[in-house]
Each structure stands twice: as structure tokens, then as C-alpha cells.
């Protein structure tokens, strides 16, 4: 197992390089680089609107002629200083190699617009995304696994039918629509004003005693976590049910029942371990989706300043250090979580041997 883990860790390096190279090419080719945005702001257009209208591209920043910029009244010396400031005075391949060298030591540079390092920004936003992702994942698994087991045991019953109807509705409607519905119902939208609409804590949170801080924290998390859970538990519930149904019909279950074991012993002593393998395999994807992608709109709707919102704003503003820094962190965490998932496979079922499969 140790050799397998070392091989997987070694494979992370070319995987990271390939993903970063692909995204580097895509981002550089996207219209509107940081210099174009700066020029647009100087001319009073703001937000890079002039750049998008004229089709300026980030890939052209370092190579394009400065005639058009000069015609727009931008001094040549200022343009050269901006290119040096943003690192566009070097060819793309040198910029990419320097980025990889810096990222190997977790040096992600500074944001173009926030006057702070990428690491500082990520550490500042991380608690919000962890709060949303951690509690959402925990609640989803606490609901989905028992519900999926119950649906498998009572397959075809009235309970199975009406819970499946609820699950289909939850799967069909996106989480952000549930978020709007929750706001209308419980956050002062139209009916009740029970839960707060903005932020993760109240303004006077630091002055509260610890028990009120805990209550205030969960009070603010109630609606965004609920919106995440409603849209996220459907797939895992059906996955658990189908996995249990596949295992229940196998010969070893028939044998265990023939030996006189109680149904609960058969279900949780034999079936559970095998059925949970596919559920464990889905955990990294669930975590990555809830931490970084699925919570983006939830963060925007409830004004929660997390990693998803940070990456989205950085992409809009062409804040390349933040874009690539967060992408690198997200990718690395996804690869590590996948490795953790494989190790958990072995812990759950020692019969699995990844080393012999790769040999």
C-alpha cells in the first residue's frame, strides 16, 4: 500500500502541470487582460467594459503592438511599466515556468487588485467555504445513508415511493432556487423574518459569550446549508439504495440468512461494508463540489465571502494570480481527497489491493 501511495503522489505532479498548462492557455486567450482593464478604468469605462467591447485579449498583452494603446492617449512608458508590473514583459512560456517554480513552494504571488497575497486571501475566505461544505456534507451523509438503506429494505413500499418523489423534486430543482425560496419564506422576503440574510456571523459576534456565538453561527448557517443539502442528498440516497439492493441479492446474503442470523446482523454486519464502497468512492467528488463549485451561487445569494465567490470575482477581473492560485489549490485538494478515498477503500475492505491491480 505504501508503494501505491508513493506512485499516486508522484502522478499528482504531471497531473497538476497538465491542468495548469491547459488553464493557462485558456485564460491567456480569454478577452480582456489586466492591463486592458487598467486602461479602461483610467479612461473611465471601469470593469474592463471597453476591453470587452474592443475584443482585447490577455494573450495579446505582452506581444501586441502598443499603437492602439498609444492612440488612446496611454503613454508608452506607462504601458511598459504595467507590463513589468503584471509580468507580461516576458514570453508566455517563461511566465508559465516561473509560475510552476513558485507554486512548487506554494508561493502564489499577490493579487493584482487587492494588494494582498493569494495565500492571505485564501486563508481569509477558507472558513466560510469550510463551514458550508463541512456541515452540508455531514448532514447529507447523515440523511442519505440511513434513508437509502431504509428505501432498499422497503423497496417498492409506499415509503419508498413517496420518498422517491421527494428526492426527484430535490434533484430536479437547483439549490440556488431553493435558496431564493427559503429567503422568501424565512428571511424577511415575504412571509417570516426568522433567519438572517447576510454574512456568517452577526456584527457584535465578538462581544457575545461563547454559547451565543455558537448559536449565532448556526443561526446564520441554517438557510445556506439547507439550500445545499436539499439539492445534494438526492444522488447519494439513490446511490446508497441501489448499492444495497445489488448486495442484498447476492449469494453470501442468502447464506447468512440461512445460518439464522438476524436481519439487522445481515444488513449491517455483511451488506453494509460492501455496499458502502461505492458511497465512499463518491465522497471526494461530493466534497470538492460542495466546497468549491456547488456553493458559489449560495455564497452570492447569502452574501457569504468564501472561496467560490473569490475565484468567480478573480476570473471576472482577470486577477490571474488569484485565478491560478485558487485553481492550483482546488486541484491539489481534489487529487489528495481522491487518494484518501482509495486508502479508505482498503480500510473498509482489506480484500482490495491497489498495488496488485496496478502491477
CATH, range 121-358: 1.10.3720.10
| Distance of alpha carbon 37 from alpha carbon 43, whole angstroms | 10
Q: Between the CA atoms of 95, 101, 103 and 109, what dihedral angle is there, to the nearest 10 degrees? A: -50
Q: What is the pLDDT of residues 5-26, one digit of tens each?
A: 888 888 888 998 998 899 888 8
pLDDT, position 62: 38
Length of the chain counted residue by residue: 359
pTM: 0.71
The overall average pLDDT reported for the chain is 78
pLDDT digits (tens, 9 = 90+) for 256-305: 888 888 778 888 777 887 777 777 767 766 766 666 555 677 887 887 88
Per the listing, cell 496496478 goes with 358
Minimum mean pLDDT among 170-184, 230-244, 267-281: which range?
A: 267-281
Which residues make Cβ contacts (< 8 Å) with residue 333, sequence separation at least 6? 288, 291
Residues of the chain with CATH 1.10.3720.10: 121-358
Q: List alpha helices for the chain, DSSP H.
A: 2-29, 34-42, 49-54, 67-71, 76-86, 92-104, 118-153, 158-172, 175-186, 210-248, 251-258, 263-266, 272-281, 283-288, 296-301, 307-317, 320-348, 354-358
Q: Once rounded to an integer, what is the mean pLDDT over residues 97-124?
A: 87
Residue partners of 248: CB distance under 8 A and separation at least 6: 152, 271
Q: At what angle do helices 272-281 and 210-248 cross, to 10 degrees?
A: 120
Give the C-alpha separation, 291 to 59, whole Å.
Answer: 30
Amino acid at each position: 500500500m505504501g508503494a501505491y501511495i508513493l506512485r499516486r503522489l508522484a502522478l499528482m505532479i504531471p497531473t497538476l502541470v497538465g491542468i495548469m498548462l491547459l488553464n493557462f492557455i485558456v485564460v491567456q486567450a480569454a478577452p480582456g487582460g489586466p492591463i486592458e482593464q487598467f486602461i479602461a478604468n483610467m479612461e473611465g469605462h471601469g470593469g474592463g467594459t471597453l476591453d470587452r467591447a474592443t475584443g482585447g485579449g490577455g494573450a495579446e498583452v505582452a506581444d501586441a503592438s502598443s499603437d492602439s494603446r498609444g492612440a488612446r492617449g496611454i503613454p508608452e512608458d506607462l504601458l511598459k511599466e504595467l507590463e513589468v508590473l503584471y509580468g507580461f514583459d516576458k514570453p508566455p512560456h517563461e511566465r508559465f515556468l516561473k509560475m510552476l517554480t513558485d507554486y512548487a513552494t506554494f508561493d502564489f504571488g499577490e493579487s493584482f487588485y487587492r494588494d494582498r497575497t493569494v495565500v492571505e486571501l485564501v486563508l481569509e475566505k477558507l472558513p466560510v467555504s469550510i463551514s458550508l461544505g463541512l456541515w452540508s456534507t455531514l448532514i447529507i451523509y447523515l440523511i442519505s445513508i440511513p434513508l437509502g438503506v431504509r428505501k432498499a429494505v422497503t423497496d417498492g413500499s409506499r415509503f419508498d415511493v413517496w420518498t422517491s418523489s421527494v428526492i426527484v423534486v430535490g434533484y430536479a430543482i437547483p439549490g440556488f432556487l431553493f435558496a431564493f425560496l427559503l429567503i422568501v419564506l424565512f428571511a424577511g422576503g415575504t412571509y417570516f423574518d426568522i433567519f438572517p440574510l447576510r454574512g456568517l456571523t452577526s456584527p457584535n459576534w465578538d462581544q457575545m459569550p461563547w454559547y451565543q456565538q455558537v448559536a449565532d453561527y448556526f443561526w446564520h448557517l441554517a438557510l445556506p446549508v439547507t439550500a445545499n443539502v436539499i439539492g445534494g442528498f438526492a444522488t447519494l440516497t439513490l446511490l446508497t439504495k441501489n448499492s444495497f439492493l445489488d448486495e442484498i441479492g447476492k449469494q453470501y446474503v442468502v447464506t447468512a440468512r440461512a445460518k439464522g442470523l438476524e436481519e439487522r446482523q445481515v444488513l449491517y454486519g455483511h451488506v453494509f461494508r460492501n455496499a458502502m464502497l461505492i458511497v465512499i468512492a463518491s465522497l471526494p467528488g461530493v466534497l470538492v463540489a460542495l466546497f468549491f463549485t456547488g456553493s458559489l451561487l449560495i455564497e452570492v445569494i447569502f452574501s457569504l465571502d468564501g472561496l467560490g465567490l473569490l475565484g468567480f470575482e478573480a476570473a471576472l477581473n482577470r486577477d490571474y494570480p488569484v485565478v491560478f492560485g485558487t485553481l492550483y489549490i482546488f486541484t491539489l485538494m481534489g487529487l489528495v481527497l481522491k487518494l484518501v478515498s482509495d486508502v479508505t477503500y482498503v480500510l473498509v475492505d482489506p480484500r482490495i489491493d491497489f498495488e496488485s491491480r496496478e502491477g
